[in-house]
Amino acid sequence: MHGRGLRAEHGDDGDRLVNAPDTVATLAPSGLPGLDPAWSRLVTTASGTWHLLDNASTLTAEPVGTLLCVHGNPTWSYLWRSFVAAGARAPRPWRVVAVDQLGMGFSERTGRVHLLADRVRELGELTDALGLTGPVVTAGHDWGGSISLGWAVDHPDLLAGVVLLNTAVHQPLDERAPAALRPAMVPGVRRAATVTTTAFLDTTLALAHPRLPGPVRDAFRAPYRGAARREAVGDFVADIPATAEHPSRPELDRIAAGVRELDVPALLAWGARDPVFSDRFLRDLRDRLPHADVHRYPAAGHLVAEDEDVADGVLRWLDTRVATGEDAPSEDAPSGDAPAPVRAGDDETVRLLGATLVERAADDGPALVELRAAGARTVSWRALARRTEQVARGLVAIGIGRGDRVAVLVPPGADLTAVLYACLRIGAVVVVADAGLGLRALSRAVTAAEPVAVIGVERALVAARTLRWAPTLVAAGPVHRRVARALGVRATLAELAELGAAAAGPRADGPEDGDVDLPWPAPDDEAAVLFTSGSTGPAKGVVYTHRGLAGMRDAVAATYAISPSRPFVAAFAPFALLGPALGATSVSPDMDVTAPRTLTATALAAAVRSLQPAGGPASRPDADPAGVVVFASPAALVGVLGTQHEASDEDRAALARVGTLLSAGAPVPAELLLAVRELMPAASLRTPYGMTEMLPVTDIELTQILAAGDGPGVCVGRPVAGARVAVSALDDEGVASGSPDVTPGVLGEVLVAGPHLKARYDRLWFTQADSARDAGWHRTGDVGRLDDQGRLWVEGRLAHVVVTDSGVVTPVAPERAVDALAGVARSAVVGVGPRGTQQLVVVVEPDGGGATAVLAEPDLAARVRGALEPRGLRVAAVLVVPSLPTDLRHNSKIDRTELAAWATDVLAGKRGRR
């Protein structure tokens, strides 16, 4: 490790001239992407000379405090360049100091081995030399996390907060080190992997998602040209304290214990795809810092700061949690001591979802009716209440209780209903993700929720065990004994019910018999984590409390007059699950609910007939013969219309007696409802507007849609009972910067509020903070306006707004105008070019598909322009595709972001047909 001056280096990085001795500290070279040379400086302490990035000289105002950033192995301060930049441009600036640890980056190669305790002490020497006086927030990544936490524990008088990115502060002795690290930890392999070759460095850089650009990879490699420059890379790996005898083990244990005493704001920003610091390390840190805010990036990996814009999020967090002195509780912190048990009815403002099952536990009338080709299955209120109580007690018997998360992967039906209400009964948190997400996205969703148990059918349990979703598995259907043993299935639902019956004792004739030892959850306890569809980005977990779910039930009941005397047909699974809470008999038609188009006209008619007082298994003396309600998705309605020719006169007569049809889950074209009206002439045809975060928000009936006529978008009606709607006005740049406003005609992002609004997003602190910038309101990401009658018109997504040199253009209204042209099946309006001077491009999917050209024929292009020019819109190009990209779940939400990227490449001559 002696300096050799100017030399030619051959080997792992090709021929390069290195104009510096190997041992000395140097400034970072100029020209590295994203790094301002003005940040680079050298500081000498008793232990050596440090290179660091420091934005102090570029700040134009007094900083709030200092963000002290510590890298891991084998990166350097370059990892924090976006933080250094963000700190300087923030409205309330922060001084950001990102260090190169001694022996790493462009700091001095001291020739010594630096153990964990040395590095913590040396970092303290550096901050003393810098004269840091606080407030200081530490930030650490990889093994820099432990070092930064060591400094935090040792400097409580300066510490104002901690930020951690994919790191660890504890390695259990009974668990092996992460698999990705093990090869490099083998003594005979370590030096070859970390020092004499660039294997360890290359592997680390390959963990980025997406792949790092070449210049950025070169920048990370810049301080490590040659084996002599990489000695500390190997030393860092050797210093991993994986055994009790390791010299750094006492220091790691000291820091791990000290972290539990930190009472400052904490943020854990985590890349979920990290093969090194996986979620088990995140769980450990959450246990040690239970008040910490968490943002988990599902698509990011080990180099989370390269994969995502973490820096701006951290600066927003600093502004909220540290700069303003806010001491609000963490979005993910436990609620503290368990509140006193609350029984259904004890809280006058909240009637828990399970209350109806208790009240009707002696009712032999039908609660659920399942129609299948093999025959009808009817479940009485008494049987459903008893089964729910037994499963609830069975769950408690196997160790699942209040606050535990349970992922439920069970097909809609009586079993699913019993499981959900059993979980709600004991205060367990139900985790629900749509299998339509696909296995990869479903796995990300379930893993993000961290359930303690999975209840599912056999194929779900196979996935759960293979992908390690949860330690406890419960079978919701028949499983062969050998399969159950191989998967480690803890119990079946039938066995849970047996355990529950035994736990309740001989007096268990109804749910009320065991109330003394089975307390009810509190209204503000977490009740469910419901995942969004993923059609507008990665699926997000939406947390509801019991109070929020009760609000959803009440909104549906009030809006659609659902009651015990008004039964309904549930061809849309989410509403079927509300049946027991509403006290209404619900019928599931003969269909595959995971494939809504399998609903036929005859199957729907049979379901309706089963609810008529003239006969059928669901007949009730108090039923309203004209009050049957049908819930069906638009796709299910397409299936009904496509098979109406098979309907008999008796089928048509039954459908003609439907009182209300509600269609939700995706946009519902008026043309579809008009066609349905021919089959159900007596029905009020209604379409709610809402989202996973709040459903329903508004409601509108077909006659109201027709009366509203043409407008700026899609009229989705007025707010339902309890709901409020406002907009945040768009500025000239298309940014929703306004405060909540209900002034008619103001174009902006749609904001919603009400008693059935989500509590928060799950472990997505930045997303939650963005969505709740206005107290009490949720920013939906939709764009629209209110009219003078209080109706909401939705005009598209905020992300799809086009900002031209003549103003802001929302896509829905121009798309509807193009869709009305002969020969056009669907269209999408997107923007190409820099925001503010974007050009409008219309992408058309012709009737019948099969387009072979990219540019539209002159006649079609002329007709498109002719449809939009009267609206003051200038069209730069009209392109044609065989089919527009849409979300897989609904096949209706057009991916305009993908189309905009494709159109940009086409017009630049880079791409052809999709």
Q: CA of 298: how far to CAs of 232, 269, 275, 301, in Å?
A: 32, 11, 13, 8
Is a pLDDT exceeding 70 seen at residue 140?
yes
The pLDDT tens digits of the residues spanning 548-586 come to 999 999 999 999 988 888 888 998 877 778 889 999 999
How would residue 334 be classed by pLDDT, with cut points 50, 70 and 90?
very low
Q: Is 30 exposed, middle or buried (0-12, 13-18, 19+ CB in 10 A)?
A: exposed
Could you tell me if 160 and 298 lie in one domain?
yes
Could you tell me if 584 and 633 lie in one domain?
yes
The pLDDT tens digits of the residues spanning 150-163 come to 999 999 999 999 99
Could you tell me if 509 and 583 lie in one domain?
no
What's the full length of the chain, in residues? 914
CA distance 88 to 80: 13
Range of 240-244, 501-505, 602-606 with top mean pLDDT: 602-606
CA distance 305 to 297: 10
Mean pLDDT within 98-103: 98
CB atoms within 10 A of CB 214: 9
Mean pLDDT within 280-301: 95
Question: Containing domain of residue 114, as a range?
Answer: 6-323
Mean pLDDT within 73-102: 97
Instruction: Output the pTM of the full model.
Output: 0.89
In the prediction, which pLDDT does 506 show?
58
How would residue 819 be classed by pLDDT, with cut points 50, 70 and 90?
very high
Could you tell me if 805 and 712 lie in one domain?
no
In the prediction, which pLDDT does 505 show?
65
Is a pLDDT exceeding 80 seen at residue 307?
yes
Tokens matching residue 642: 């496509």
In the prediction, which pLDDT does 807 show?
93
How would residue 754 be classed by pLDDT, with cut points 50, 70 and 90?
very high
**319 within some domain:** yes
Query: Among 274, 302, 323, where does a domain finish?
Result: 323
**375 within some domain:** no
Q: Which residue has the tokens 């367990």?
A: 428
The b-or-e profile of 746-782 (16+ CB within 10 A means b, else e) is bbbbbbbbbbbbbbbbbbbbbbbbebbeeeebbbbbb
Is a pLDDT exceeding 90 seen at residue 512?
no
Could you tell me if 785 and 883 lie in one domain?
no
Could you tell me if 149 and 277 lie in one domain?
yes
What is the domain-level CATH number for residue 806?
3.30.300.30
Could you tell me if 249 and 100 lie in one domain?
yes
Mean pLDDT within 389-409: 96
Share of the chain above pLDDT 70, in %: 90
In the prediction, which pLDDT does 613 show?
54
Could you tell me if 826 and 752 lie in one domain?
no
Q: Which of 321, 326, 318 is nearest to 65 (CA)?
A: 318
Query: Among 768, 796, 824, where does a domain finish?
Result: 796
CA distance 122 to 128: 10
**119 within some domain:** yes
Is a pLDDT exceeding 80 seen at residue 186?
no
Q: Which of 615, 607, 794 is nearest to 700 (CA)?
A: 794
Could you tell me if 143 and 276 lie in one domain?
yes
How would residue 346 be classed by pLDDT, with cut points 50, 70 and 90?
very low
Mean pLDDT within 595-616: 83
**536 within some domain:** no
How would residue 326 be classed by pLDDT, with cut points 50, 70 and 90?
low
In the prediction, which pLDDT does 760 show?
97
How would residue 325 be classed by pLDDT, with cut points 50, 70 and 90?
low
Tokens matching residue 399: 């160790």
**490 within some domain:** yes
CA distance 583 to 357: 8
Q: CA of 358: how far to CAs of 511, 521, 587, 683, 832, in Å?
A: 6, 14, 21, 33, 59
Q: CA of 85: how far to CAs of 324, 374, 857, in Å?
A: 21, 66, 48
In the prediction, which pLDDT does 615 show?
39
What is the domain-level CATH number for residue 663?
3.40.50.980
In the prediction, which pLDDT does 348 show?
54
**330 within some domain:** no
Could you tell me if 726 and 808 lie in one domain?
no
Strand order in the sheet with 429-432: 489-492, 472-475, 453-456, 405-409, 429-432, 526-531, 541-545, 760-761
Q: Is 92 exposed, middle or buried (0-12, 13-18, 19+ CB in 10 A)?
A: middle
- Who contacts 174 (Cβ-Cβ below 8 Å, separation ≥6)? none
Torsion, Cα of 531, 319, 162, 762 (10° steps): -10
Tokens matching residue 251: 């220091």
Query: Among 491, 521, 551, where does a domain finish?
Result: 521
The pLDDT tens digits of the residues spanning 690-712 come to 999 999 999 999 999 999 998 99
Mean pLDDT within 406-420: 93
Mean pLDDT within 270-277: 94
**716 within some domain:** yes
What is the domain-level CATH number for residue 778?
2.30.38.10
Mean pLDDT within 665-672: 84
In the prediction, which pLDDT does 914 show?
64
Q: How many structural domains is the chain composed of?
A: 5
| DSSP-assigned letters across all residues of 471-495 | SEEEESS---HHHHHHHTEEEEHHH
**554 within some domain:** no
Is a pLDDT exceeding 70 seen at residue 744?
yes
What is the domain-level CATH number for residue 224?
3.40.50.1820
Mean pLDDT within 325-346: 39
CA distance 519 to 525: 13
The pLDDT tens digits of the residues spanning 228-271 come to 999 999 999 999 998 889 999 999 999 999 999 999 999 999 99
Least reliable range by pLDDT among 271-280, 509-518, 743-752: 509-518
In the prediction, which pLDDT does 685 show?
96
Could you tell me if 714 and 822 lie in one domain?
no
In the prediction, which pLDDT does 572 show?
81
Residue type, 520: W
Please tell me what DSSP assigns to residue 757. Answer: S
Could you tell me if 247 and 293 lie in one domain?
yes
Tokens matching residue 529: 């984590």
Q: Which of 852, 854, 851, 875 is nearest to 863 (CA)?
A: 875
Is a pLDDT exceeding 70 seen at residue 622?
no
282 phi and psi angles, rounded to 5 deg: -65, -45
Share of the chain above pLDDT 90, in %: 76
Mean pLDDT within 334-361: 62
In the prediction, which pLDDT does 381 show?
96
pLDDT, averaged across the chain = 89
Angle at 334 between CA 332 and CA 335, to 5 degrees: 115
The pLDDT tens digits of the residues spanning 836-878 come to 999 999 999 998 776 677 899 999 999 999 999 999 999 999 9
Judge whether 253 and 246 are in contact, CB under 8 Å. no
The pLDDT tens digits of the residues spanning 1-55 come to 333 232 223 333 333 333 456 789 999 999 999 999 999 999 999 999 999 999 9
Least reliable range by pLDDT among 95-99, 176-180, 221-225, 772-776: 176-180
CA distance 750 to 812: 15
